[in-house]
């Protein structure tokens, strides 16, 4: 089943079961996907939908951090619940060890030096395709390129 079909199916099931958080998250997700389709002028494939999911998850993480800093536990809990719903649709995330292995392999393939951060980063991001956050990848690349 394609990712968009799964999102549509889950949305209908959540609507029937009156799962408010899931309905809200999937409604916003469908809207973000539709906006991306309009911008791209074609229906998105699964890889492009994963990019939209990653962006939405990143927004939730940032909002969660801000609410926690501001002492708004109620809003932080809401963002955490929404993030959990989004994570269900994202591919399984790489562990730190797996990510480090991919970065090391990429550095070896490219024969990269400390000034080649951009080349390594771009190559790693293509390989992992949404299976690790950009911030984690960036930190790992910086550490290993020293």
Residue 1's Cβ-count burial label (10 Å; 0-12, 13-18, 19+) is exposed
In this model, does residue 137 exceed pLDDT 90?
A: no
DSSP code, position 112: -
**Where do the domains of the chain lie?**
3-87, 96-145
Predicted confidence (pLDDT) per residue in 34-69, tens digit: 999 999 999 988 888 988 998 899 899 999 999 999
Q: Please report the pLDDT score of residue 11 as a whole number.
A: 94
CATH superfamily of 3-87: Uncharacterised protein YqeY/AIM41, N-terminal domain (1.10.1510.10)
Spell out the CATH class of 96-145: mainly alpha
Percent of the chain exceeding pLDDT 90 equals 43
Task: Say yes or no: do domains 3-87 and 96-145 share a fold.
Answer: no
User: 107-115: long-range contacts (C-beta < 8 A, 24 or more apart)?
Assistant: 107/141, 107/144, 107/145, 112/145, 113/145, 114/145, 114/146
Alpha carbon distance 21, 88 (integer Å): 14
């Amino acid at each position: 089943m394609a990712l968009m079909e799964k999102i549509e199916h889950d949305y209908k099931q959540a609507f029937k079961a009156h799962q408010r958080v899931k309905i809200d998250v999937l409604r916003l997700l469908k809207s973000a996907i539709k906006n991306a389709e309009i911008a791209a002028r074609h229906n998105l494939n699964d890889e492009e939908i994963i990019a939209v999911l990653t962006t939405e998850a990143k927004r939730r993480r940032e909002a969660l951090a801000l609410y926690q800093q501001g002492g708004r536990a109620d809003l932080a809990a809401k963002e955490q619940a929404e993030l959990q719903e989004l994570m269900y649709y994202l591919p399984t995330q790489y562990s730190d060890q797996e990510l480090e292995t991919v970065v090391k392999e990429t550095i070896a393939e490219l024969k990269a030096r400390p000034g080649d951060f951009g080349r390594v980063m771009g190559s790693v991001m293509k390989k992992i395709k949404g299976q690790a956050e950009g911030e984690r990848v960036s930190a790992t690349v910086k550490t290993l390129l020293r």
